Structure 1
Amino acid sequence: MGRVEVPCALIVMGVSGSGKSTIAAALGQRLRWRFEDGDSFHPASNVEKMRTGHPLTDEDRWPWLNAIADEMARVCGRGEQIIIACSALKHSYRDVLLRGRDDVRFVFLKGTKELIAERLPQRKGHFMPPGLLTSQFDTLEPPEAGELVITVSIDETVEAIVDGIVRQLKLGGAKR
């Protein structure tokens, strides 16, 4: 399959605290695409596990990743677009999300552990405790050139990050 020019879905990925929900929501507003936080697809048992400071296992993640992939398939099947904030830390997780599709792109929010650790205490009402940041970085398998990915540094303003993503997607809507 050749790559499609305009994806039907964007998955904004990165470790906890990298700004996935903030960037994905702002990107959704800019592009006028529906935004969903991938966390809302977690079963209650996963949320409770993370809230109590226990990292998820791959077995915990499969139903969550499949629920997100199912939603993307529904949305794309209707000819609509969606942006989902989802950590997608491993290659195998991204494979489950893609299911062989070429009309989905990943947006990798890349930042240092130090910068993200600095930002975590400022988050309000999130169930991921800062202590799990190390496990997130230990699990992270950064996307490679062959993956359908746009990589952006999180060391900028939200608007500048969104501008960079839109520019790389070549979809229009970037502020000049």
Structure 2
Amino acid sequence: MTGERPPTRHVVVMGVSGAGKTTVARGIAELTGLRFAEADEFHSAANVAQMRAGIPLDDGQRWPWLRALAGWMADRHAEGVSTILTCSALKRSYRDVLRQGPPEVEFVHLDGAAELIRDRLGRRVGHYMPASLLDSQRAILEHLEPDESGIVLEVAASPDDLVVAAVDGLGLARQAPVGGR
């Protein structure tokens, strides 16, 4: 044994607000053991207040946030820890910043009909992102390009099905069940 650590994996579950990023990413983390982080928790108080007021962020407000996310993944990579991160990552340029962290980042794009996502946002409780910002997010969304590592999943599927599809689609290793179950 040479003492080398196994390679790390870094996955970003992306999409517009209400697509189910947190639910799916937490499910992937539970199934695989990847360390989970919620990108919303990296926003400044000023960014949160602005979004809560229904005002979209501009790119100048997003760059420091995206760099912090890339740094978090890079730090985990240096520790030999694989990660799963939620982040809207709506534009190619945003994903490019995220890719400046660890050596490789893979994406799971949760995509679906605006009506379904708008309905989910209308039923969501306790989140600062108002449904009124969905249209602005959909307007700037740039889908994954062929040279970007990742998969696209339809949000109409159940959360459990999305988790399994993401794990299988990316070839992520499942962790052994606790207690031999």
Identity score, percent: 44
Q: Does 1:104 align with 2:114?
A: no
Q: Is the 8 A contact 2:74 2:101 kept in 1?
A: no
Q: Is the 8 A contact 1:109 1:152 kept in 2?
A: yes
CA distance in 1: counterparts of 2:172 and 2:117, whole angstroms: 29
Amino acid paired to 1:11: V
CA distance in 2: counterparts of 1:173 and 1:76, whole angstroms: 19
**So what's the TM-score if we normalise by structure 2?**
0.89
Q: Which stretches in structure 2 are left out of the alignment for 5+ residues?
A: 1-5, 176-181
Q: Which stretches in structure 1 are left out of the alignment for 5+ residues?
A: none
Partner secondary structure for residue 37 of structure 2: strand
Q: Does 1:22 align with 2:54?
A: no
Alignment CA distance shift 1:120-1:28 (3 Å): same
CA RMSD in angstroms, aligned pairs only:
1.7
Q: Does 1:89 align with 2:90?
A: yes
Partner secondary structure for residue 98 of structure 2: helix
Counterpart of 1:57 in structure 2 is 58
Counterpart of 2:76 in structure 1 is 75
Amino acid paired to 2:64: P
CA displacement at 1:70 relative to structure 2: 0.5
CA displacement at 1:8 relative to structure 2: 2.1
**So what's the TM-score if we normalise by structure 1?**
0.92
Amino acid paired to 2:126: G
Counterpart of 2:116 in structure 1 is 115
CA distance in 2: counterparts of 1:141 and 1:164, whole angstroms: 22
Aligned residues: 170
Q: 91-100 or 39-48, which moves further after superposition?
A: 91-100
Counterpart of 2:153 in structure 1 is 152
Q: Is the 8 A contact 1:7 1:105 kept in 2?
A: no
Amino acid paired to 1:73: A
Larger-gyration structure (1/2): 2
CA distance in 2: counterparts of 1:125 and 1:101, whole angstroms: 32
